[in-house]
């Protein structure tokens, strides 16, 4: 079986989507006094693949929300530089060292100026690393990086900031409180509508509003799935129309990865169990007739190959259908309608209805 990948949460994927969708706003928010030196008209480049290659051996099995962004300067000196962004949602005692490792590997690969930003979205007030220091036998190195501890803020801190990142951060702040069970489902509905009302007064364009709406809707989840349906209906009434998916790439990726991992695990387990059982039975029968050590080996190999191919095909089809059904149910519980689900999964509404024998939300 392939090496197990880290399990990203929907919140992780939404953060990745927000960084890409709102990178200019994010840079302006966190690097305000330097942001005017950046020439956004030349575009930005996300170096996800390159970052993954130079950090492949770090924290195997861990989930990191990290981005490496190339931006250009107005002055041309330097022509461009790099921004390493990390969203950290849990306590990691080796975080400072990891940031330093990223820094020197990025510097070694590109040889260009690099700045770093760590956004802490965890719920531990004591966790706030800002640097990494090495000091030994007269040799000393201190690596300091930009940080933003969300838990140190209050919702009111974001209300008067005319930058969509403020809406994102306030939503994430409430997410911390929800994780601590300090907000009820009823209270969460009220908070989400308060965020949305203030968002609609900002005067942002439609695309930007859609990105932020989807972050608010999906980032903080209700304890009871039926509350999603209640919230969605009230939101439709409030907005006066049915919403589209918005930042659907992040949602699609999250559901797809969860389903793929689960399918691989279940298929492998069931195939192994069935192959072992069926091969043993068939080999025993054949070897009884051809009792030699050589034939036993040949028959085992041949039968194992035939049975594995047959069983894998049967199990994969069955497990895929079961998991598809499971994630359709999950998406329904999170407020998505059959038409939206069909578009995301690339299947027809009729196929969804057939799976559930005509049980549709439409």
304-334 per-position pLDDT tens digit: 666 666 766 766 667 667 777 777 787 777 6
User: How crowded is residue 6: how many other Cβ atoms within 10 Å of its Cβ?
Assistant: 12
Helix axes 10-21, 206-219, angle to 10 degrees: 160
Q: Where are the domains of the chain?
A: 9-134+142-151, 153-246, 252-355
Provide mean pLDDT across the span 209-226: 91
Say how far apart CA 219 and CA 23 lie, in whole Å: 18
Per-residue pLDDT reduced to its tens digit, 76-98 = 999 999 999 999 999 999 999 99
* Short-list 178, 240, 170, 218, CA closest to 336: 218
- The more confident residue out of 103 and 352 is 103
The DSSP bridge partners found for residue 84 are 68, 116
Q: What is the pLDDT of residue 233?
A: 87
24, two tokens: 């200019």
Q: Band of the pLDDT at 132, cuts 50, 70, 90?
A: very high
Q: Is residue 78 reached through a cis peptide bond, with omega within 30 degrees of 0 on the bond before it?
A: yes
Provide mean pLDDT across the span 24-39: 96
16, two tokens: 């990745």
Does the predicted model carry a pTM greater than 0.85? no
Say how far apart CA 255 and CA 327 lie, in whole Å: 7
Per-residue pLDDT reduced to its tens digit, 146-176 = 999 999 999 999 999 999 999 999 999 999 9
Strands 146-149, 114-120: pairing kind: parallel
Per-residue pLDDT reduced to its tens digit, 262-284 = 666 666 676 677 667 766 666 66
């Amino acid at each position: 079986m392939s090496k197990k990948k880290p399990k990203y949460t929907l919140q992780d994927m939404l953060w990745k989507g927000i960084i890409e969708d709102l990178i200019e706003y994010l840079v302006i928010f966190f690097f305000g006094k330097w942001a005017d030196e950046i020439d956004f008209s030349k575009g930005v480049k996300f170096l996800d693949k390159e970052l993954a290659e130079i950090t492949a051996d770090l924290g195997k099995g861990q989930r990191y929300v990290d981005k490496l962004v190339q931006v250009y300067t107005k002055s041309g000196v330097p022509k461009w530089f790099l921004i390493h962004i990390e969203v950290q949602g849990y306590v990691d005692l080796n975080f400072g060292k990891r940031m330093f490792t990223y820094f020197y590997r990025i510097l070694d690969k590109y040889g260009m100026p690099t700045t770093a930003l760590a956004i802490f979205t965890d719920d531990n007030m004591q966790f706030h690393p800002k640097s990494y220091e090495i000091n030994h036998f007269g040799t000393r190195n201190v690596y300091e990086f930009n940080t933003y501890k969300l838990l140190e803020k209050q919702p009111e801190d974001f209300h008067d900031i005319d930058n969509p990142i403020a809406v994102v951060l306030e939503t994430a702040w409430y997410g911390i409180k929800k994780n601590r069970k300090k907000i009820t489902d009823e209270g969460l509905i009220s908070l989400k509508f308060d965020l949305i009302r203030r968002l609609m007064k900002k005067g942002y364009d439609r695309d930007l509003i859609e990105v932020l709406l989807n972050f608010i809707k999906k980032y903080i989840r209700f304890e009871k799935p039926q509350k999603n349906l209640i919230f969605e209906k009230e939101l439709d009434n409030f907005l006066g129309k049915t919403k589209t998916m918005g930042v659907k790439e992040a949602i699609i990726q999250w559901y797809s990865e969860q389903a793929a991992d689960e399918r691989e695990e279940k298929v492998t387990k069931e195939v192994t169990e069935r192959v072992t059982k069926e091969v043993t039975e068939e080999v025993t029968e054949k070897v009884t007739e051809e009792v030699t050590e050589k034939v036993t080996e040949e028959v085992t190999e041949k039968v194992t190959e035939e049975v594995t191919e047959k069983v894998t095909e049967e199990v994969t089809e069955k497990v895929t259908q079961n998991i598809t059904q499971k994630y359709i149910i999950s998406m329904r519980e999170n407020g998505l309608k059959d038409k939206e689900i069909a578009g995301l999964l690339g299947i027809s509404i009729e196929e969804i209805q057939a799976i559930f024998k005509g049980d549709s939300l439409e």
